[in-house]
């Protein structure tokens, strides 16, 4: 949700900023802009992608050793040149880039209008930069103090970087709610919304905490709170590898990430599953097994695809550990005065670790005394820092906006937690425990087999690329997979798709079925196999088109469905990890065939840091 990048040092800032913006473009691509400081401020901004900005300023002066850049996901005001960041204050003293939302911007705007300010854009950010300038000009003070005072007056979220013309050797960065990382080089500093623009220059970083402010010169970094209390910087080492953020020969990040799943899952369980598959070790939960065992209830909070992984988690925990689970959308949980007991355990699932609604849900759970654990992919992200304990998914950076490998890595982590908890609680036998660990260990190899069906999946996709609607059905562990399949299709191909528990079809959706309705059915052999076979027959009886994901060698569904995609056999609790693969590939191919931007679907952003 908006990417921001900044540089101060001896190098030319422009190439660093542009490259950084390209890396951050997954966070928003409505417009892009940069400001460079060399004697004066040179500001360029443009509706569209970073490449549009680059072309537009190809012949302009782009020098300067200090600069800031922004790639936008529009919140206030339509995507156009005027609303693009950076924004400047009326007298041109301050230039800002901002990620987040200033919730009280309308009131502040009215006050500033009364003081004689006028606005060129519809954005909350322009209000903030003018507020800073107003405070700065009213009394004599440093730019940093003006920023701090302004921030005490705003409600909402921000990750921002400010340049003041009167202090041309300084960048001021601040954070509340929206992430900011500072990279420490030799006589230079890098600032960004995440570490991807920084990693090729330095591995040493500082993650800002909420209400931290950093005053950065080429040879000095001061960290303090917005209340002016100095903070000792905690320098962390990045584990991210530069190779992980390239397409590595694939046409799209999404395709690369789909193909990375065998590796991502193996990395996620490596060192956690014993080599002989007899036990699971989860270091991140070592201290808190007691809380998990005592938990009266587990509440899973998440959004989007992570919420679907949470649904799989519900089936896993209830089936094996016999603990009741509720799966909540962060956005609903936070606003409905939820009942939370002190002996509840809350598990927050998030790829980015920055999703605003999930973070807010965590805070409510903590205020009510529950223990909160995280399942996150991005190391050092806000959720990892606000939770009591957690288990990382080691999927590696996920750049494609549609989540793929993060989902399977999340399900892998939830499987390990559920099995380990069940083993602790003795709600499954040791034999069953070890049998499932062994089966989990075999999943990467089986995913390779599912990926090998790509050409067949492409041919099926071709047939349904021009349809306007699709239904996805599944039962039990596979119902969340149906939901996830539908989400993947709609978000990247803009085809309307809905996922349902297969039995629910009779309660309404069946009315939609005719010869124009493709129905994707996740129907591998499990405890409700006979039931789903009946559901496929019901679809066929109404002339629907049935495309079934089935277990290798299943001849029954083969005879009924229009198309089948066979995946290797695995225990039903692990089937989501395999069956989701063809659905991801179908969405990818259909989106591509429809000419959609697979990695950057319209209206979306990867990291949803606003509510
Ligand atoms: C869908 C997708 C989103 C995210 C959701 C939560 O493909 O990517 O639905 O899953 O925005 O994001 P995280 O997991 O970062 O909290």
DSSP symbol at 177: B
pLDDT at position 246 is 85
DSSP symbol at 140: -
The alpha carbon of 403 and the centre of ligand 1 are apart by a number of angstroms equal to: 6
Is residue 300 within 6 Å of ligand 1 at its C-beta? no
3-state SS record for 179-205: CCEEEECCCCEEEECCCCCCCCCCCEE
Is residue 358 within 6 Å of ligand 1 at its C-beta? yes
User: In a mutational test of the pocket of ligand 1, which residue from 252, 257, 305 has the highest number of ligand atoms less than 8 Å from its CB?
Assistant: 305
Cβ(349)–Cβ(302) below 8 Å: yes
- pTM for the predicted model, two decimal places: 0.88
Q: Name the residue with the closest Cα to ligand 1, atom 5.
A: 304
- Other residues' Cβ atoms within 10 Å of the Cβ of residue 280: 21
Beta-strand (E) ranges in 14-85?
31-38, 40-47, 66-72
User: In a mutational test of the pocket of ligand 1, which residue from 355, 407, 499 has the highest number of ligand atoms less than 8 Å from its CB?
Assistant: 355
Cβ(527)–Cβ(476) below 8 Å: yes
Task: Give the position, in ligand 1's atom list, of the atom nearest the Cα of 407.
Answer: 10
Q: Name the residue with the closest Cα to ligand 1, atom 10.
A: 305
Is residue 331 within 6 Å of ligand 1 at its C-beta? no
Is residue 404 within 6 Å of ligand 1 at its C-beta? no
Task: Give the position, in ligand 1's atom list, of the atom nearest the Cα of 352.
Answer: 15
Q: Please, what is the angle between helix 575-593 and helix 454-464, to 10°?
A: 50
Is residue 305 within 6 Å of ligand 1 at its C-beta? yes
The residue count for the chain: 611
Q: How far apart are CA 557 and CA 563, in angstroms?
A: 9
Is residue 99 within 6 Å of ligand 1 at its C-beta? no
For the question of residue 525 being annotated catalytic, the response is no
Which residues have CB under 8 Å from 42's CB, separation 6+? 35, 36, 60, 61, 62, 64
Q: How far apart are CA 270 and CA 263, in angstroms?
A: 10
User: In a mutational test of the pocket of ligand 1, which residue from 258, 306, 378 has the highest number of ligand atoms less than 8 Å from its CB?
Assistant: 306
Q: What is the DSSP string of 354-386?
A: --HHHHHHHHHHHHTT-EEEEEESSTT-HHHHH
Q: Name the residue with the closest Cα to ligand 1, atom 3.
A: 304
| Widest pairwise Cα distance in the chain | 81
Place of tokens 């919140």: 75
Label the pairing between strands 94-99 and 158-164: antiparallel
Instruction: Kindly state the tokens that stand for 203.
Output: 């591995």
Q: What is the DSSP string of 484-546?
A: HHHHHHHHHH--EEEEEEGGGGGGTGGGG-STT-EEEEE--SSTTHHHHHHHHHHHHHTTPEE
DSSP symbol at 320: I
Cβ(250)–Cβ(259) below 8 Å: yes
Q: Name the residue with the closest Cα to ligand 1, atom 8.
A: 403
Is residue 403 within 6 Å of ligand 1 at its C-beta? yes
The alpha carbon of 361 and the centre of ligand 1 are apart by a number of angstroms equal to: 15
The alpha carbon of 402 and the centre of ligand 1 are apart by a number of angstroms equal to: 7
Task: Give the position, in ligand 1's atom list, of the atom nearest the Cα of 378.
Answer: 15
Which residues have CB under 8 Å from 136's CB, separation 6+? 93, 94, 143, 146, 164
- Secondary structure percentages of the chain, helix, strand, coil, to 5: 40, 25, 35
The alpha carbon of 388 and the centre of ligand 1 are apart by a number of angstroms equal to: 22
Q: How far apart are CA 548 and CA 564, in angstroms?
A: 5
The alpha carbon of 351 and the centre of ligand 1 are apart by a number of angstroms equal to: 7
Alpha-carbon torsion angle 534, 536, 540, 541, nearest 10:
20
- Residue 23's nearest CA partner among 329, 247, 235 is 247
The alpha carbon of 607 and the centre of ligand 1 are apart by a number of angstroms equal to: 7
Q: How far apart are CA 488 and CA 165, in angstroms?
A: 46
Is residue 382 within 6 Å of ligand 1 at its C-beta? no
The alpha carbon of 302 and the centre of ligand 1 are apart by a number of angstroms equal to: 8
User: In a mutational test of the pocket of ligand 1, which residue from 302, 304, 354 has the highest number of ligand atoms less than 8 Å from its CB?
Assistant: 304
For the question of residue 247 being annotated catalytic, the response is no
- Compute φ and ψ for 478, nearest 5 degrees: -95, -5
> What's the Cα-to-Cα distance from 531 to each of 4, 480, 508, 578, rounded to whole Å?
51, 17, 18, 20
Strand order in the sheet with 212-217: 87-88, 94-99, 158-164, 171-176, 212-217, 220-225
pLDDT at position 403 is 97
Which residues have CB under 8 Å from 246's CB, separation 6+? none
Label the pairing between strands 204-207 and 94-99: unpaired
The alpha carbon of 222 and the centre of ligand 1 are apart by a number of angstroms equal to: 34
Q: What is the DSSP string of 531-581?
A: HHHHHHHHHHHTTPEEEEEEETT-HHHHHHSSEEEEE----GGGHHHHHHH
Task: Give the position, in ligand 1's atom list, of the atom nearest the Cα of 404.
Answer: 7
Is residue 374 within 6 Å of ligand 1 at its C-beta? no
Catalytic position from the list 2, 164, 303, 376: 2
Which residues have CB under 8 Å from 139's CB, separation 6+? none
Element (DSSP H or E) covering residue 463: helix 454-464
Place of tokens 């988690």: 313
Element (DSSP H or E) covering residue 590: helix 575-593
Q: How far apart are CA 273 and CA 277, in angstroms?
A: 6
The alpha carbon of 433 and the centre of ligand 1 are apart by a number of angstroms equal to: 30
Cβ(187)–Cβ(10) below 8 Å: yes
Q: Name the residue with the closest Cα to ligand 1, atom 11.
A: 304
Low-confidence ranges of the chain (pLDDT < 50): none
25-45 burial code (b ≥16 CB/10 A, e <16): bbbbbbbbbbbbbbeebbbbb
The alpha carbon of 564 and the centre of ligand 1 are apart by a number of angstroms equal to: 29
Task: Give the position, in ligand 1's atom list, of the atom nearest the Cα of 358.
Answer: 16
Is residue 409 within 6 Å of ligand 1 at its C-beta? no
Is residue 408 within 6 Å of ligand 1 at its C-beta? no
Is residue 587 within 6 Å of ligand 1 at its C-beta? no
Catalytic position from the list 176, 371, 525, 606: 606
Strand order in the sheet with 389-392: 325-329, 297-302, 344-350, 371-376, 389-392
Cβ(13)–Cβ(69) below 8 Å: no
The alpha carbon of 280 and the centre of ligand 1 are apart by a number of angstroms equal to: 27
Which residues have CB under 8 Å from 217's CB, separation 6+? 8, 169, 170
pLDDT at position 61 is 79
Cβ(605)–Cβ(25) below 8 Å: no
- Residue 373's nearest CA partner among 347, 409, 350 is 347
């Amino acid at each position: 949700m908006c990417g921001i990048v900044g540089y101060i040092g001896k190098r030319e800032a422009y190439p660093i900023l542009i490259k950084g913006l390209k890396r951050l473009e997954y966070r928003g691509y409505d417009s892009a802009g940069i400001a460079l400081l060399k004697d004066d401020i040179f500001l360029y901004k443009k509706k569209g992608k970073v490449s549009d900005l680059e072309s537009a300023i190809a012949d302009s002066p782009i020098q300067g050793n200090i600069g800031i850049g922004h790639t936008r996901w529009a919140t206030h005001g339509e995507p156009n040149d005027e609303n693009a960041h950076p924004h400047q204050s009326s007298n041109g003293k301050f230039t800002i880039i901002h990620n987040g939302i200033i919730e009280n911007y309308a009131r502040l705007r009215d006050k500033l209008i009364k003081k004689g300010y006028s606005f060129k854009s519809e954005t909350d950010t322009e209000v903030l930069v003018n507020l800073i300038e107003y405070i700065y000009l009213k009394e004599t003070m440093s730019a940093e103090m003006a920023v701090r005072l302004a921030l005490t007056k705003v409600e909402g979220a921000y990750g921002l970087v400010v340049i003041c013309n009167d202090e041309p050797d300084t960048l001021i960065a601040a954070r509340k709610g929206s992430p900011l990382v500072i990279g420490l080089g030799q006589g230079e500093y890098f600032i960004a919304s995440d570490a991807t623009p920084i990693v090729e220059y330095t591995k040493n970083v500082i993650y800002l905490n909420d209400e931290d402010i950093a005053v950065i010169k080429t040879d000095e970094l001061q960290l303090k709170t917005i209340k002016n209390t100095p903070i000792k910087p905690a320098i962390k080492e990045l584990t991210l590898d530069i190779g992980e953020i390239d397409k590595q020969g694939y046409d799209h990040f999404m395709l690369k990430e789909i193909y990375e799943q065998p590796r991502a899952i193996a990395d996620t369980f490596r060192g956690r599953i014993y080599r002989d598959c007899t036990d699971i070790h989860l270091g991140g939960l070592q201290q808190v097994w007691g809380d998990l065992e005592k938990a009266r209830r587990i509440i899973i909070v998440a959004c989007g695809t992570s919420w679907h992984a949470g649904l799989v988690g519900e089936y896993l925990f209830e089936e094996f550990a016999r603990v009741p689970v509720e799966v909540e959308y962060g956005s609903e949980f936070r606003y409905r005065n939820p009942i939370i007991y002190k002996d509840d355990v809350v598990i927050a699932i998030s790829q980015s670790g920055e999703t605003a609604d999930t973070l807010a849900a965590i805070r409510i759970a903590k205020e009510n005394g529950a223990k909160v654990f995280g399942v996150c992919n991005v190391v050092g992200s806000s959720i990892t820092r606000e939770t009591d304990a957690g288990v990382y998914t080691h999927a590696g950076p996920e750049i494609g906006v549609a989540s793929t490998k993060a989902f399977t890595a999340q399900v892998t982590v939830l499987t390990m937690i559920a099995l380990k908890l069940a083993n602790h609680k003795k709600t499954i036998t040791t034999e069953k425990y070890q049998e499932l660990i062994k089966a989990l260990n075999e999943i990467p190899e089986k995913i390779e087999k599912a990926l090998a069906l790509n050409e067949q999946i492409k041919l099926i996709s071709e047939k349904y690329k021009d349809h306007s609607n699709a239904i996805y059905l599944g039962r039990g562990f596979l119902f969340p997979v149906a939901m996830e399949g539908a989400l993947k299709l709609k978000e990247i191909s803009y085809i309307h798709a809905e996922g349902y528990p297969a039995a629910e079809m009779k309660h309404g959706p069946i009315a939609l079925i005719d010869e124009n309705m493709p129905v994707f059915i996740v129907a591998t052999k499990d405890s409700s196999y006979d039931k789903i076979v009946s559901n496929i027959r019901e679809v066929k009886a109404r002339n629907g088109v049935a495309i079934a994901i089935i277990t290798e060698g299943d001849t029954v569904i083969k005879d009924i469905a229009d198309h089948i995609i066979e995946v290797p056999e695995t225990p039903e609790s692990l089937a989501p990890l395999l069956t989701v693969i063809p659905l991801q590939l179908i969405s990818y191919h259909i989106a591509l065939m429809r000419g959609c931007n697979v990695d950057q679907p319209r209206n979306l952003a990867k990291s949803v840091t606003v509510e």
